[in-house]
Amino acid sequence: MKNFLIVLLGPTGVGKTDTSIALARRFNCDIISADSRQFYREMRIGTAVPEETQLKAVKHHFIRFIPVTDYYSASLFERDVLGLLDSLFETTNVVLMTGGSGLYIDAVCNGIDDIPDTEPAIRQRLKSRYREEGIESLRMDLKILDPEYYSRTDLKNPKRIMRALEICEATGRSYSSFLRREKRIRDFGIIKIGLERSRSELYGVIEKRVDRMIGEGLEDEARGLHPLRELNALNGVGYRELFDFFEGKTTREKAIELIKRNSRRYAKRQVTWWGRDKDIRWFHPDNVKDMIEYIEISITSLIS
């Protein structure tokens, strides 16, 4: 094994940006962003895109590289990152990937099932049904069309249910038939570093970050994107709560409170996602020296 991908992951607000730059400088390598919301050009404040000084300190890839109207997926990210790694490994043996999108990180590390693209009209029709009829109607369709996926998915998550129904309708096959879960073998070593803080510490950081985003102009950014609110890219925390405020469904103060609450819940889901991965070595973000030592030992071990 001569080439290595360092994966730095962790929940929203934990401190990945500063840590990734410190590690990239130490190993003299580029950074690949695996934060799916940072892919979009129009979403800067609400996605905590690194500052210009940070972007200039180390070369970043997959930051604000597509318009919010473009379709992009974990399978496309896998394809694009693997192609980029082939190029980067010609001049360096270490690359750093960092982010909080577990599905996108897994796609690069383990591969992802080749699920076909679908027509946007199908997606919009299902969203309209969800708004008009509620989640129970969609659940019943899923139970009929794909009982296997129905039995194991989160039936409280409308996005997952709609995604499965979308594939069923577009292909005439069950969604579960595409989920082979076959791990791909990579020709580079993978070293996973996870960042963690105590719950109270993390939640405190998240609340301060939301206040900072509001102060930097998140409300104006979201208002400019409001006409495109039906796009899947804009269904994330920080935008949908403000959209409800713009539409008179809640107050500004309540919207900000909900952004903080939903950010905390999102962080909790991220931690749960990675809890199943025993290859991750966890560190507090202040312990960069220990991370470097762990990475160097791991590289030496994999080489030998």
* HSE-CB for 304 with a 13 A CA cutoff: 6
Look at residue 51 in the predicted model and tell me its pLDDT.
Answer: 93
**What is the DSSP annotation of 187-240?**
SSEEEEEEE---HHHHHHHHHHHHHHHHHHTHHHHHHHHGGGTTSGGG-STTTH
When pLDDT is cut at 50, 70 and 90, the band that residue 146 belongs to is very high
pLDDT for position 73 = 84
Mean pLDDT of the region 176-189: 82
- Residue 137 tokens, joined: 């109607």
Q: How confident is the model at residue 1 (pLDDT cuts 50, 70, 90)?
A: low
Rounded to two decimals, the pTM is 0.83
- Helix (H, G, I), strand (E, B), or coil: what is residue 31? strand
pLDDT, position 181:
62
Residue 20 has which token pair? 């990734």
Q: Indicate the pLDDT class of residue 180, thresholds 50, 70 and 90.
A: low
What value does the mean pLDDT take over residues 262-285? 94
Residue 117 in this model has a pLDDT that exceeds 90:
no
Burial class (CB in 10 A: 0-12, 13-18, 19+), 127: middle
When pLDDT is averaged across residues 86-94 and rounded to a whole number, the result is 96
Reduce the DSSP state of residue 45 to 3 states and report it.
Answer: coil
Question: Which residues have CB under 8 Å from 268's CB, separation 6+?
Answer: 11
Domains and CATH numbers, the chain: 4-113+182-303 (3.40.50.300), 120-178 (1.10.20.140)
Distance, CA of 110 to CA of 113 (rounded, Å) = 10
The pLDDT confidence band at residue 52, using thresholds 50, 70 and 90, is very high
Mean pLDDT of 95-124: 87
pLDDT beyond 70 at 8: yes
What's the chain's average pLDDT?
92
Determine contact, residues 31/59, Cβ cutoff 8 Å.
yes
CA 92 to chain centre: 26
